[in-house]
Amino acid sequence: MKAKIYRGTKEIGGTCVELTADNGKILWVDLGAPLDDKNPNIDYANNKLDALLISHPHQDHFGLMEKVGTDVPIYIGEVAFDFINATKIFIDLPLLKGNYKTIKPWQTFTIADTFKIQSFLTDHSTPESFSFIIEADGKRVFYSGDFRATGRKKIVFDKIVEAPPKNIDLLLIEGTMVERANHIYLTEESVEEGIYNILKNQKNVSFLISSAQNIDRLISIIRACKKTGKKVVIDVYTAWLLEMLHKQSSNVPTMEWDEVKVYNKPSQMEKITDKTFDEFRAKIKTNSVGASVFQSPSDFIYFVRNPSMQLVNALRKHGKINVIYSQWEGYLKEEYQQYFTDNINALKQDSDIDFHSIHTSGHAVVPDLMKFAKAINSSKITPIHTAFPEIFKKQFEENGFNNIQLWEDGIEYQI
């Protein structure tokens, strides 16, 4: 078996790995949209791809998958499939069409009568994210995908480390956090505590800025609300994500929980007029925040990507507003306009707002990367999804690893 990283040996985002078996069968693992919007050098139309395997529903891992066409089998998690379609509903894009095959955690299956796959659930900032063992021609590749050991699914990290797979020839491991660290908030539990400390003292409304898919973060808010008697307000899109997740697990919160209310934003409500949403719309009506926020703003925290300036301005008179930024602070740079940089930076400078940064990463810090790599004990380790491969190599070698191989984008290597 041979392997090629199309993109990811020197940057974060746009991940795509090609595995070619001795019989000529080709499997791609992830096909993400680069964060800089420049597509990797992949000939989608003329590829001889036999299948595509997606690790999780973040754009930098699945964003270009529809370019492979409708004939190529695409293996993707059930939750990921539903989340992607949910997003499409709310941004007026057609639902996924093609040869999609949904998979589950801890599943073993075969692709193209060649590649034997084992899926492992990982702890990441989306409810369903996979690592994979991919086996062919007597070789075993462990593809880590994105993972961490500090979230609410830490147990799955521990499960792999305590009973690791054997005889791995190549570990393709993410290295997002090589030059970063969780300095203040080391775990999701500490994020919850930080939110709690703000909510218990708030005199006006709070806004927490995060991705709707970061259900761990939403659970942290809900748990803080339980302790303080507050309520979290979510939008219609987030409420729909929770509805789909709740069908998979009754432990997932929904808008019907006491601590949750919904803001029935008109532009989102008009996306769900079909009869199939009748029951969902009825639940929204029952659980709408309504005008309550104007009557007692200190009882609420909004879970949003971008706070409404209209609402902020309407509530200024009640005192200081808390804005909790709960994402990587790099997204506040000018080049990341898709993350509402200008508006959020304006809020940061607003004298009527107390701006807080409370976040822990969805990616493993270096000690956890090393703990994971030591447990897997592969013959070779190659970092991917990292902007600093040389630093990765240096740090690992200083800690006793002598099997780090740095690859170049677009070059094929024998496993």
Shared domain for 251 and 395, answered yes or no, is: no
Shared domain for 286 and 379, answered yes or no, is: no
Shared domain for 175 and 200, answered yes or no, is: no
Q: Which two tokens stand for residue 270?
A: 């008009």
Q: Which of 339, 357, 375 is the last residue of a domain?
A: 357
pLDDT given for residue 48 in this prediction: 84
User: In this model, does residue 37 exceed pLDDT 80?
Assistant: no
- pLDDT above 90: percentage of residues in the chain: 88
Shared domain for 305 and 406, answered yes or no, is: no
Instruction: Give the number of domains in the chain.
Output: 2
The domain spanning residue 220 has which CATH number?
3.40.50.10710
pLDDT given for residue 329 in this prediction: 87
pLDDT bracket for residue 45 (50, 70, 90): low
Shared domain for 200 and 236, answered yes or no, is: yes
Shared domain for 108 and 214, answered yes or no, is: no
Across-strand partners of 322?
206, 354
Shared domain for 130 and 271, answered yes or no, is: no
**Mean predicted confidence (pLDDT) in 237-254:** 92
The per-residue pLDDT for range 70-116, each reduced to its tens digit, is 899 999 999 999 999 999 999 999 999 999 999 999 999 999 999 99
pLDDT bracket for residue 46 (50, 70, 90): low
User: In this model, does residue 248 exceed pLDDT 90?
Assistant: no
The domain spanning residue 398 has which CATH number?
3.60.15.10
pLDDT given for residue 180 in this prediction: 85
Shared domain for 317 and 268, answered yes or no, is: yes
The per-residue pLDDT for range 207-232, each reduced to its tens digit, is 999 999 999 999 999 999 999 999 99
The per-residue pLDDT for range 105-153, each reduced to its tens digit, is 999 999 999 999 999 999 999 999 999 999 999 999 999 999 999 999 9
Identify the domain containing residue 389 by its residue range. Answer: 2-180+363-414
Its pTM stands at 0.94
pLDDT given for residue 43 in this prediction: 65
